[in-house]
């Protein structure tokens, strides 16, 4: 009888502890399920390059956390502005993504308690260079990677038959607004002379091939 009584007592204790264990497990599960939400909240602030200056025709990915209607890809118009619901028209060209984030956030505070805004340059269309004159495909090209004079001429299909390869030059506007002429003698370059003339291009450079 004593043995049976002891078994009954142990069984009752186990049953009494079961709900406690279940609650502990539920709390653990709840904590685990909460972590993705916290992770999502953290992902609202994605890193981007704050040194990049937005230009006309760039495509921006604008995200407002938990606001699907305000999360979209927006092109920068030729006047340098973008349009967003609630925000209206806002200047984008000439600003960094971080500066644009701040202004959009400030304007949204009139409608949303704590807006979390992220601006990322989705596609760069504003950084361009031109190749004109005696090349196979003259025109405007996107400057999305590090590009030299030779790279640009190759991208434009190379020289045409009557191109003056020793008289190529790059037109570049300096910081003070003055126009520079950077000479490029292709004939010397291919002989290994004055290789420093094969400069890296900057936005809005124009290569002239006479």
Q: Say whether both 66 and 87 belong to one domain.
A: yes
Supply the DSSP string of the chain, one letter for each residue. Answer: -HHHHHHHHHHHHHHHHHHHHHHHHHHHHHHHHHHHHHHHHHTTS----TTPPP-TT-EEEEEETT-GGG-EEEEPPTTSEEEETTTEEEE-TTS-HHHHHHHHHHHHTTT-SS--EEEEEEE--S-EEEEEESBSS-EEEE--S--BHHHHHHHTT-B-TT--TTSEEEEEE-TTSPEEEEEE-HHHHHTTS-GGGSPBP-TT-EEEE-
Residues 108 and 142 in one domain: no
In a domain, 16, yes or no: no
The answer to the question of residue 21 being in a domain is: no
Write out the residue range of the structural domain in which residue 99 sits. 59-123
Closest by CA position to 53, among listed 92, 6, 18, 17: 92
The number of domains in the chain is: 2
Position 23 scores a pLDDT of: 38
* pLDDT the model gives residue 51: 75
Q: Which of residues 106, 123, 140 is at a domain's end?
A: 123
Give the CATH number for residue 179. Answer: 3.10.560.10
CA 106, 109, 110, 111 torsion-angle sign: positive
150: which 2 tokens? Answer: 């030779």
71-112 tens-digit pLDDT: 999 999 999 999 999 999 999 999 999 999 999 999 999 999
Final residue of a domain: which of 104, 123, 142?
A: 123
- The 10s digit of each residue's pLDDT in 29-53 is 444 444 333 334 333 334 466 778 9
Give the pLDDT confidence of 182-197 residue by residue, as tens digits.
999 999 999 999 999 9
Q: Which of 203, 193, 196, 201 is nearest to 153 (CA)?
A: 201
* The Cα angle at residue 79 between residues 75 and 85, in degrees rounded to 5: 50
In tens, the pLDDT along 122-155 reads 999 999 999 999 999 999 999 988 999 999 999 9
Whether 53 contacts 94, CB under 8 Å: yes
152 within some domain: yes
The pTM is what? 0.62
Are residues 98 and 159 located together in one domain of the fold?
no
């Amino acid at each position: 009888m004593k043995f049976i009584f002891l078994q009954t007592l142990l069984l009752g204790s186990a049953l009494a502890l079961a709900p406690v264990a279940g609650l502990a497990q539920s709390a653990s599960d709840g904590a685990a399920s909460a972590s993705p939400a916290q992770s999502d909240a953290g992902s609202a602030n994605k890193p981007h390059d704050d040194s990049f200056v937005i230009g006309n025709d760039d495509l921006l990915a604008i995200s407002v956390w938990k606001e699907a209607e305000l999360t979209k890809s927006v092109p920068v118009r030729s006047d340098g502005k973008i349009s967003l619901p609630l925000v209206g028209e806002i200047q984008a060209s000439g600003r960094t993504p971080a500066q644009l984030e701040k202004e959009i956030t400030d304007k949204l505070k009139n409608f949303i308690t704590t807006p979390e805004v992220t601006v990322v340059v989705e596609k760069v269309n504003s950084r361009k260079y031109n190749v004109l004159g005696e090349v196979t495909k003259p025109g405007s090209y996107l400057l999305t990677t590090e590009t030299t004079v030779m790279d640009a001429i190759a991208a434009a299909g190379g020289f045409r038959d009557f191109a003056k390869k020793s008289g190529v030059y790059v037109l570049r506007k300096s910081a003070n607004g003055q126009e520079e002429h950077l000479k490029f003698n292709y004939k010397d370059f291919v002989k290994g002379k004055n290789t420093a003339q094969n400069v890296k291009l900057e936005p809005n450079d124009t290569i002239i091939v006479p």
